[in-house]
Amino acid sequence: MATKKYNPTSPARRHMSVPSFEEVTKSIPEKSLLTVLKSKAGRNSYGRITVRHKGGGNKKKYRLVDFRRNRQDIPAKVIGVEYDPNRTAYIALIQYEDGVKSYIIAPAGLTDGDMVYTGAASDIKSGNTLPISAIPVGAIIHNIEIYPGKGGQLVRSAGAAAQLMAKENGMAQVRLPSGEVRLIRLDCQATIGTVSNIEHDTVKLGKAGKTRHLGIRPTVRGSVMNPCDHPHGGGEGKSPVGRPSPVTPWGKPALGYKTRNKKARTNKFIVKSRHAN
Q: Distance between CA 6 and CA 112 in Å, rounded?
A: 29
Q: What's the confidence (pLDDT) of residue 75?
A: 92
Coil, helix or strand at residue 184: strand
What residues are paired with 269 via a beta bridge? none
Q: What's the confidence (pLDDT) of residue 276?
A: 78
Name, in order, each residue with C-beta under 8 angstroms of 70's C-beta and a sequence gap of 6 or more.
Answer: 118, 149
Mean pLDDT of 192-221: 93
Q: Is the pLDDT of residue 152 over 90?
A: yes
> Cβ(25)–Cβ(111) under 8 Å?
yes
Phi first, then psi: give them for residue 201, nearest 5 degrees.
-75, -5
Q: Distance between CA 10 and CA 5 in Å, rounded?
A: 13
Mean pLDDT of 246-266: 91
Q: Report whether CATH 2.40.50.140 matches the domain 3-201.
A: yes
> Cβ(253)–Cβ(247) under 8 Å?
yes
Summarize pLDDT for 182-201 with one digit per residue, the tens. Answer: 999 999 999 999 999 998 99
Q: Is the pLDDT of residue 1 over 60?
A: no
Summarize pLDDT for 48-74 with one digit per residue, the tens. Answer: 999 999 999 999 999 999 999 998 889
How far apart, in Å, do the first and last CA atoms of the chain sit?
A: 31
Confidence of residue 107 (pLDDT cuts 50, 70, 90): very high
Q: What's the confidence (pLDDT) of residue 4?
A: 86
Q: What's the confidence (pLDDT) of residue 39?
A: 87
Q: Please tell me the pTM assigned to this model.
A: 0.88
Q: For the chain, which residues make up each domain, given as ranges?
A: 3-201
158, 104, 128, 122: CA torsion to nearest 10: 160
Q: What's the confidence (pLDDT) of residue 260?
A: 87
Q: What's the confidence (pLDDT) of residue 5?
A: 87
Coil, helix or strand at residue 223: helix
